[in-house]
Amino acid sequence: MTPSDVKATLSFSDGSPSMDLPIYKGSIGPDVIDIRKLYGQTGKFTYDPGFLSTASCNSTITYIDGDKGELLYRGYPIEQLAQKCDFLETCYLLLKGDLPNQTQKGDFVKLVSNHTMVNDQMQYFLRGFRRDAHPMAVMTGLVGALSAFYHDSTDINNAQHREIAAIRLIAKMPTLVAMAYKYGIGQPFIYPKNSLSYSANFMRMMFANPCEEYESNDVLVRAIDRIFILHADHEQNASTSTVRLCGSSGTNPFAAIAAGVACLWGPAHGGANEAALSMLNDIQKNGGVEKIGEFIKQVKDKNSTVKLMGFGHRVYKNYDPRAKLMRETCHEVLTALGLHDDPLFKLAMALEKIALEDDYFVARKLYPNVDFYSGIVQRALGIPVSLFTAIFALARTVGWIAQLNEMIADPEYKIGRPRQLFVGSPARDVKPIGQR
């Protein structure tokens, strides 16, 4: 970290001694005030619910500027990566710090491809679930169970173990997601095919069956690949912070990633695209495009409980840079599949038009976000709504691993232990039961 020439001074109105606090500069983005010695010198903690003003770590992986609508992976704009790279190149970048050359990419693709199979006993573990179990419930169990099969890569403090676990997780997540899907619909599992690209292999495992040859569609494969790239990492969000916090105890990488999967399940995080599509289905049931004006009135009504899902973003105060890319992909997929006249997609495009042109939404910067478009694309690809968050987890796994590895390699890392402002009862004595 680079110290700043400026220092902060914390003073108290009760006459307590003031305290100088160091300030550190990032390569880009806000400076941070170092409060690590605050409690030792003052006996006080800071109070920051949701950690909205707290930097929990220093990182070199992902940078977001919400005001500018900017997202960088290792310094590269997301727009350039999504247009010029595939997902495994992006994985290499997040893990290693730089984009691969041709030889490095070939070696990395081969390494990942050779680890796509899962232990055959995993299918028996999977069969212990109900057929109608939510895919995220299944994925939480499957990912955590990997540590029971791969004992040679569970030491989080061993760099070689972490590297092996990283490749295994990236390689096996598509296989596990496809298995969870096939199990839920009662179809036989499709084994991975190492001659295919990462995304083409996933699509085949999802939609092939033993009765006929699966014909790959390049537009659809590129669409799912772009979804993976756009969701690969997103700085210190809830699930990434969960992975870091879980991993800080020294638990194995598979358990830490399973914790991230569980956190991602929440509707305020990974379930946002599912919520956006559910909103579209509700509008469609209530009259579709003809009734969209009434829906918009309800959204604008302060006394209404109706919410516009898939628009705006907590971090991006401008346009979500991922949304523009996903919008292009959305229209490419709808065109390739001839779905522009599908009632739900026509509704989605009508809602998009209103949000981009209506002064109410423009003034509040409630632009369609990546979840809005990715939900539409996944539905067009034939992916059921219940599987959307599992797809997200598949994509985000590489980001979680990169963040976890960075934390473990940081000499300043400690087990996470947030503090609290206690407002409960002070110490009191236990009375005999007859006097309570």
For 280, the enclosing helix (H) or strand (E) is: helix 272-285
Assess whether 371 carries a catalytic annotation: yes
Q: Which residues pair with 8 in a beta bridge?
A: 21
Q: Check: CB of residue 374 under 8 Å from CB of residue 82.
A: no
Return the residue matching tokens 């990169």: 402
Beta-carbon contacts of 214 under 8 Å, excluding residues fewer than 6 positions away, are: 204, 207, 208
Burial of 138 (0-12, 13-18, 19+ CB in 10 A): buried
What CA–CA distance (Å, rounded) separates 424 from 153? 43
What CA–CA distance (Å, rounded) separates 436 from 422? 24
CA 360 from chain centre, in angstroms, equals 29
What CA–CA distance (Å, rounded) separates 299 from 172? 42
The b/e string for 120-129 (b: 16+ C-beta within 10 A; e otherwise) is eebeebbeeb
Q: Which residues pair with 2 in a beta bridge?
A: 25
Assess whether 269 carries a catalytic annotation: no
Q: Which two tokens stand for residue 107?
A: 């070696």
DSSP per-residue string spanning 149-205: H-GGG--TT-HHHHHHHHHHHHHHHHHHHHHHHHHHHTPPP----TTS-HHHHHHHH
Return the residue matching tokens 């969960």: 242
Residue of 233, 234, 313, 320 marked catalytic: 313
Alpha-carbon Rg for the chain, nearest whole angstrom, is: 24
Beta-carbon contacts of 123 under 8 Å, excluding residues fewer than 6 positions away, are: 179, 189
Residues acting as catalytic residues: 313, 371
